[in-house]
Structure formats: C-alpha cells, structure tokens
Amino acid sequence: MKRFLLLCSLFAVAVSLNAQADAPAATPPGEVSTTEQSVTINGKTIPLTAQAGTFQLRDENNDPIALMGFTSYTQKNGNNTRPIVFAYNGGPGSSSFWLHMGVLGPKRIVVNDPDFMPAAPYPLVNNEFSILDLADLVMIDPVGTGLSIPIGKAKFVDFWGVDQDIRSISLFITQYLIAHDRLNSPKFLLGESYGTFRNAGVMSKLLDQGIELNGVIMVSAVFDLRTLLFPPNDDLPYIVHFPTYAATAWYHDKISNKNPNLEKFLAEVRLFTAETYVMALFRGDQLPPADRQKVAERLAYYSGLSTEFWLRADLRVTASEYFQELLRTEGLTVGRLDSRYSGINQDLLSQEADYDPQSAAISPAYITTFLNYFHHDLGVRPDLQYTITAGRREGFKWDWKHEGNVIWNANAAVNTGPDMARALTQAPNMKVLILNGYYDIATIFYGVEHSIDHLGLSARIKDNISMKYYESGHMMYIHQPSLEKFKTDVGSFITGCLQR
C-alpha cells in the first residue's frame, strides 16, 4: 500500500510538471520605477513625478504583444486636463534619449557645440528650456529600442516596418491615455527625424481610433523619402538638397562676397534652384554645352565646390559626395546631421564620407550621461539593458511598404505626407509645427517645403501648418541660441493650440 501511494504521488507530481510545461508562459507585467524629480523654469521650481519602465501593450484582440518602454514626467498635484506630449526620436530604430536629454526632459546634456566633446565627466544641468512648465511628457521607445520588447506570440518583425510601427505607437498612446485617465487632456505629438515620418501616420491612425490631437510638432522633418535618397533618373533629391549645400558653404565661408544675412542668401538660392537648376536637370543631355557651363558656374558659386567638379558630376552631387568634397583640401569632412561640424578626413581620395563628425562629436556624451541618469536618477534596475538603437539587434530590417503607397523602386516612393493631409482635412482644427535646421543635410529643409507644397491642401488647411527655421542642424537644440528659440517656438505653439 505504501508503494502504491508513493507511485500515485510521483505520478501526480509528474502530471503537474508536464501540465506546467505545456501551459503558455505567464505574460510578464510592465515594470515601472517611480521617483520624485523637479525642474526650474523661469525661476519657478516645478515638482514632478517621474515613471520609467515598461507598459504592457495589447493588440486589437486584447492579447499582450509587447512591453513598451517609456519615461513620463507629470506635474505633482496636476489634473487630467493638463496638456500631455508624446515624444520620440526616429531612425527608424532609434530610442528616445536624444530628445529626452537634449531638450524635453528636466535635465539636459551640455556639449561643446560645434566641436568635439572630451571624455567624461559630462555636464548634466537643469533644463530651463524644457516644456514641462506647459505640459506633461511621455517619452516613447519603439519596440526593439530602450526596454521595449515583444511578448506573447509577437516577434520583433511584427513591429519593424512603416505600418507596423504606426500601429504599435498608436495603440500605446491610446492605451496609455486610458490607463492614466488622460483621454480628456489636450494631446500633442512631438517627433524628430523619422519620428516626423511616423507622426504623419500616427496622427491619421489615432483619428481613426477616435482620438484627435490638438497639435503635432515635427523636428527635422521628412515625409517623402524620395527627398532623401538618390535613385536613378530622379532629379528631385538633387534639387531639394542644393539649398542646404549652399547654407553649408555660406557657414564655412566658401562663398565670395556672400550676403551676410543667411535667410536673404537662401531666398536667392531658392529662386535659382526653382527657376534655373530645375530646368537644367529636366533637360538632361539635351541641355546645350554653353548653358551647362553657365549652370555649373552658378552651382559652384553657391555651393563652394568647383565648376569642374559640377561638370564631372553631370550637375548632380549626392549628399555624401558633398560632405567629402567641400573641405577636402583642408583634410576635413563636414557633418551630415549638422554641417557646421567638421572632422578629420582619413582618405582624401574617397568619393564619399565614411562617418558623420557631428554624431562622433556628441554621441558618447549623450549615451553615457543618459544611461547614468536612467539607472541612477530614475531608479531603473541596472540589470535591465537599455537598447540605444534596434540596429544592434540581430535580424533588424525595416519593412518599407506603406498602405496607400505604390512601391516602384524599393523604398523610394514611400510617403506619409498623404496621411497627414488626410488627418488635417478630417480634423481641420489640428495644427502642425515644423522645425527645420538650415545646416541639416540628413533631412533637408527645402525637401520639407516641397513636400508640404505638394500635398494639395486647401488654403484654410495649409494655414494650420507653420514652419520655423534655425541656424543649426538636425538636433538644433545642441546650439544654444537655437535651443532658446526652440522653447519659444514650441511653447507658443502649444499655448496657441489651446486657445479656442
């Protein structure tokens, strides 16, 4: 009998263990560290509750699909009618620490703009230019970045693509608003770089879900990817890049007898580009040699490159070729994200630049200081790996297909501008602010102007879009005067959107 009871007991344990092995794994809940922070703006100290960690994201069937990483700052003793800003960077595949520590959060990193930073220690200071005096803030890390990972049956590939990304970010925003009783708050998006490309889709997707935004802020924008690429037989990218080449030459004093006013100089360049350069490229090999020579001479004057270089290039110079050529004789290459920066050119015979001096100059300071702040000040467990970019993950590949776009040439035709136009048409009170850096060769300002001018918007709707310009680059807020202007422009925009 004892043997029989022992066998029964062992059998029961085995059945129990097998049942546990066959059962689906428990869905991990989100993990959040809550701390008290503060920021001083215009002499007034604002107490904040900060939360950093993950939020369990569910799909349309209420099944858990991801732990979404986020950091939020809410004013203590605030209410649910205070404005709330959802913000992220771009990539695609970038986490949100650049905006977080550069301009939006309660602390900011100070760099030696436009020069290289020495190694640590790095200065972290109170951010008197934060928007936290006007609104609460939620920094979002898309899946694959920060602490964000897929769970349940979901995989990374389910989030890595234009439409997949728009869907997951829109789901997060909706579910966060519900979970934190913020549905009736004035709502804003703020995205940088690819984050603006995402913004255009999210503002439309949220509207489909019954959520209308008060305003959308685009920092260093792109909507039509053709403006950034240089596909065969497409003149558009050469055209829209040229004014930024001219601005770069103006900054580095490569233009003789230049107009001392940058904006007036660029107005002249825009006119030349639209009336002369466009027509020359359109004619292709039918452009007479004498006319080709004259156009090359004007291109040389405005860009700082030689007439011979423009002729050898068939009047078409890519961005990477420009980085490498402008300061070649000085042994330097200029920055892509911010062409005020320059760095050592190790290969004076190379046609294209192989690194970005701006990124090299500030990345260690931003990454090191943020990680220290994230784990020390915000109290996130040090054993949780914060992923700076999804590009570090095995198998990272972006799906560039977008609903409503026809892809003829890889990703060259992808455009979320129509999504933005649709949202603005169906929600005619929604406002958009676009911030452009004159020295940004990553997302060029003339390309943004072209995209907006070709959305086919009525005058009334187009008036809801405002453009601001900065004598800085992609991350205009690393330049002190532009940082101050950023706060003024964004602050005025948020305040204006709240007026009825």
Q: Where are the domains of the chain?
A: 32-225+364-498, 227-357
- Burial bucket for residue 38 (CB in 10 Å: 0-12, 13-18, 19+): middle
State pLDDT tens for residues 448-487.
999 999 999 999 999 999 999 999 999 999 999 999 999 9
Count the Cβ atoms, other than its own, within 10 Å of residue 442. Answer: 23
Angle at which helix 262-272 crosses helix 289-303, to 10 degrees, equals: 160
Separation in Å, CA 304 to CA 47, 117, 298, 299, 439 = 50, 28, 10, 8, 15
Percentage of residues in the chain having pLDDT higher than 70: 92
Structure tokens at 352: 């294209």
Contact 144, 387 (CB under 8 A): yes
Structure tokens at 5: 């009871």
pLDDT value, residue 406: 58
pLDDT value, residue 403: 86
How much is the mean pLDDT over the chain? 92
CA 33 to chain centroid? 26
State pLDDT tens for residues 64-74.
999 999 999 99
State mean pLDDT over 106-117. 96
The alpha-carbon radius of gyration of the chain (Å, integer) is 25
Separation in Å, CA 69 to CA 33, 52, 121, 142, 391 = 12, 8, 27, 7, 17
Contact 95, 387 (CB under 8 A): yes
Q: What is the pTM of this model?
A: 0.93
State pLDDT tens for residues 486-499.
999 999 999 999 98
On whether the 32-225+364-498 domain is CATH 3.40.50.1820, my answer is yes
Contact 123, 109 (CB under 8 A): yes
State mean pLDDT over 58-80. 95
Question: Can you name the residues that pair with 87 across neighbouring β-strands?
Answer: 139, 190
Contact 141, 88 (CB under 8 A): yes
**Cα distance from N-terminal residue to C-terminal residue, the chain:** 84
Q: What is the pLDDT confidence band of residue 425, given thresholds at 50, 70 and 90?
A: very high
Place of tokens 């680059």: 473
pLDDT value, residue 407: 53
Q: Quick check: helix, strand or coil at residue 430?
A: coil
Structure tokens at 227: 């403006």
Contact 174, 140 (CB under 8 A): no
State pLDDT tens for residues 354-386.
899 999 999 999 999 999 999 999 999 999 999
DSSP-assigned letters across all residues of 68-111: EEEEEEEETT--TTS-EEEEE--TTTB-SHHHIIIIISSEEE--
State mean pLDDT over 283-290. 97
Position 13 pLDDT exceeds 50: no
Q: What is the pLDDT confidence band of residue 7, given thresholds at 50, 70 and 90?
A: very low
State pLDDT tens for residues 333-356.
999 999 999 999 999 999 998 899
Position 10 pLDDT exceeds 70: no
State mean pLDDT over 165-186. 97
Contact 299, 310 (CB under 8 A): yes
State mean pLDDT over 178-190. 97
